[in-house]
Amino acid sequence: MAANTPRSGGRTPWLYLAPALVVLAGLLAYPIWQLGLISVLEYTQAQVSGGEPTVFRGLDNYAELLGDERFRSVLATTVVFAAACVAGTLAVGCALAVLLTRVRAVPRLLLMLAALGAWATPAITGSTVWVFLFDPDFGPVNRVLGLDGFSWTYGRHSAFALVLFEVVWCSFPFVMVTVYAGIRAVPGEILEAAALDGASSWRTWRHVTAPMLRPILTVVTIQSVIWDFKVFTQIYVMTGGGGIAGQNLVLNVYAYQTAFASSQYSLGAAIGVVMLLILLAVTLVHLRLLRRTGEEL
């Protein structure tokens, strides 16, 4: 009996996870299978309407995709844009987390409520509000800045900047709350010792607090990478589907346009598979770091 106990105990967690695994398999496994299947076929509007037979192309769609200069350009743009969003989110989130530790209870509560309100706002709602705020003719931001008539979405860089601001606005609360909880868990004696040694606030954060928060910062960084790499709604709504002549395309929007606007469903599916593999690699790094640090989400 004693020899069977560990084996039985090892099966118990899987029994509890079984209902969730079944649901996830139904919601994720079949769509991923269909995505991969379409990506290796010749699947255009002609095949959808039944006018031409479906042809198996193997990896030809991926070869065509990787040989496409526009795809490589959009991929590079996506990586740079996601990196900027992650950097901005971490900077704002960490700064406000430190601020929360230095203000009184009422301002702290108000800041938390305001941040959580931004976090809870649906992406399409937040994007629409930001478009109105920066409207060239009626936007209050342009009036305050004295930029009446200036269109933020006309230029490539200004449009990306506007979307970046919105992404940071709706993403920083997660970083702020998580880092704030980590700071509160740092022993006060260590911070007091740093203050007695004459360390400034910046040096205390850099040499004391940040190293102790490295596991938490790693988690929120990778989580932000996953979120920001697959941004779709903000780009699509705020730039009108990718900007003038596609100057503000990211991979998600490019896949949508390729599949549904150009009816190249197989190439759109191939883009989706490439994104899936990239995010899967980031997720595996995430899990490995979690196991290494012993942190649990």
What pLDDT is stored for residue 101 in this prediction? 87
What pLDDT is stored for residue 63 in this prediction? 93
Tell whether 5 is covered by a domain: no
Tell whether 146 is covered by a domain: yes
Segment 197-230, tens digit of pLDDT: 777 777 887 888 888 888 888 889 888 998 999 8
What pLDDT is stored for residue 3 in this prediction? 47
What pLDDT is stored for residue 262 in this prediction? 85
Tell whether 66 is covered by a domain: no
The CATH number of the domain holding residue 116 is: 1.10.3720.10
**Structural domain count, the chain:** 1
- Helix (H) / strand (E) containing 42: strand 41-42
Sequential DSSP letters for 144-190: HHT-TT--TTTSHHHHHHHHHHHHHHHHHHHHHHHHHHHHHTS-HHH
List the beta bridge partners of residue 259. none
Tell whether 107 is covered by a domain: yes
Domain housing 217: 72-293
Residue 126 in contact with residue 118, Cβ under 8 Å?
Answer: yes
Tell whether 100 is covered by a domain: yes
What pLDDT is stored for residue 2 in this prediction? 46
What pLDDT is stored for residue 296 in this prediction? 45
Tell whether 39 is covered by a domain: no
For residue 117, how far is the Cα from the chain centroid?
A: 18
Tell whether 159 is covered by a domain: yes
Q: How far apart are CA 79 and CA 82, in angstroms?
A: 5
Residues of the chain with pLDDT under 50: 1-6, 295-297
Using alpha carbons, select from 19, 175, 157 the residue that is nearest to residue 97. 175
Tell whether 195 is covered by a domain: yes
What does pTM read for this prediction?
0.84
